[in-house]
């Protein structure tokens, strides 16, 4: 049985988004997850909604209102005829340089938790509150504001990392690294810093622009991580099934789904039975299916070029 142990790719004032103590939200049903993919919902709405499903104190409406306000503030820094390059420069300045526009407190990389390993730090409201972000929250905030400014931006994945694909006014696409001032970054840099297989790149697991539905699935994968951390493997499977319907080649999530089935096997069988014949027939049938699905999920991920060591420098 195979298990994974890594984590993904996750307010101006505390009262805007809720109390300091996290309020535990109820497990979302499949229909609620499916509703995230409604075409009229933008990605900021999806992100705050996902965070609210995990922590009921997150105020989705207040979060979206803050993103809207930030976009207006960036726009006020621009001449009316500003093109994409000027707009992007203003967005970078607004986020990453201290000034009157951000009360002298720029957004920066949280060196203490760069991957967003602490679940609290995966919430966008936490980033807005502390101005310290990670490889989940930083590209999302830049993207959400940039979209409202008319910039052509999409999310993209590297191992255990998100970044932005930006298309300029001439139709050329660039990588923007939100954890480093939103600067331009080449694909080779990601391949050197976050090792990945050639097969994974060829198959589009990494380094390509994500569609809207694929980006929703990536944002929603935080719910799977939350369910796994809570030991709610059944719910992790339910959520994964919905997300994978919209992004079937989401290799990281396929591996997490395999971990969920592995968790079910361990929870129900480990240390409880000394002989196979002692396992009740109905449980054995379910365990056999979990074992099959565990192997199947990992096999699909590996067929796409995903490897457990992705993103880890040897």
For 93-118, how does the pLDDT look when each residue is reduced to its tens digit (9 = 90+)?
999 999 988 889 999 999 999 989 89
Report the Cα–Cα distance between both ends of the chain, in Å, rounded. 24
pLDDT at 218: 98
Mean of per-residue pLDDT scores for the chain? 91
Residue 39 near residue 295, CB atoms below 8 Å:
no
Taking the domains of the chain in order of start, what are their residue ranges?
14-229
pLDDT for residue 187 is more than 50: yes
pLDDT band at 275 (very low <50, low <70, confident <90, very high): confident
For 131-145, how does the pLDDT look when each residue is reduced to its tens digit (9 = 90+)?
999 999 999 999 999
Point out the least confidently predicted range of 21-30, 148-157, 257-266.
21-30
**How many whole angstroms separate alpha carbon 61 and alpha carbon 72?**
17
Residues 6+ apart with CB under 8 A from 103: none
Can you give the pTM of this predicted structure?
0.90
Nearest to 297 by CA among 265, 245, 263, 260: 260
Nearest to 107 by CA among 119, 91, 123, 122: 91
pLDDT at 1: 41
The dotted CATH code for 14-229 is: 3.10.620
Helix crossing, 137-148 with 43-54: angle to 10°?
140
């Amino acid at each position: 049985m195979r298990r994974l142990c890594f984590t993904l790719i996750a307010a101006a004032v505390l009262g805007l988004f809720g109390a300091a103590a996290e309020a535990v939200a109820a497990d979302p049903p499949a229909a609620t997850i499916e509703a995230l993919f409604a075409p009229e919902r933008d990605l900021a709405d999806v992100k705050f909604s996902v965070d609210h499903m995990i922590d009921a104190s997150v105020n989705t409406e207040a979060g979206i209102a803050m993103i809207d306000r930030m976009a207006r503030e960036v726009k006020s820094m621009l001449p009316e005829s500003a093109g994409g390059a000027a707009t992007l420069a203003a967005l970078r300045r607004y986020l990453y340089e201290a000034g009157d526009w951000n009360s002298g407190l720029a957004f920066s990389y949280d060196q203490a938790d760069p991957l967003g390993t602490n679940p609290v730090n995966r919430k966008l409201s936490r980033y807005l509150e502390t101005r310290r972000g990670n490889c989940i929250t930083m590209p999302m905030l830049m993207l959400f504001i940039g979209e409202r400014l008319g910039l052509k931006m999409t999310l993209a994945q590297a191992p255990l990392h998100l970044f932005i694909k930006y298309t300029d006014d001439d139709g050329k696409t660039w990588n923007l690294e939100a954890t480093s001032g939103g600067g331009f970054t080449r694909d080779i840099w990601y391949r050197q810093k976050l090792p990945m297989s050639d097969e994974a790149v060829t198959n589009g697991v990494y380094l390509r622009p994500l569609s809207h539905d694929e980006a929703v699935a990536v944002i929603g994968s935080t719910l799977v991580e939350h369910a796994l951390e809570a030991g709610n493997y059944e719910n992790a499977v339910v959520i994964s099934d919905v997300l994978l319907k919209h992004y079937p080649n989401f290799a990281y999530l396929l591996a997490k789904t395999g971990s969920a089935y592995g968790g079910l096997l361990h929870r129900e069988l480990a240390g409880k039975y000394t002989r196979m014949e002692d396992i009740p027939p109905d449980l054995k049938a379910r365990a056999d299916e979990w074992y099959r699905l565990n192997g199947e999920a990992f096999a699909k991920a590996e067929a796409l070029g995903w490897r457990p060591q992705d993103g880890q420098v040897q």
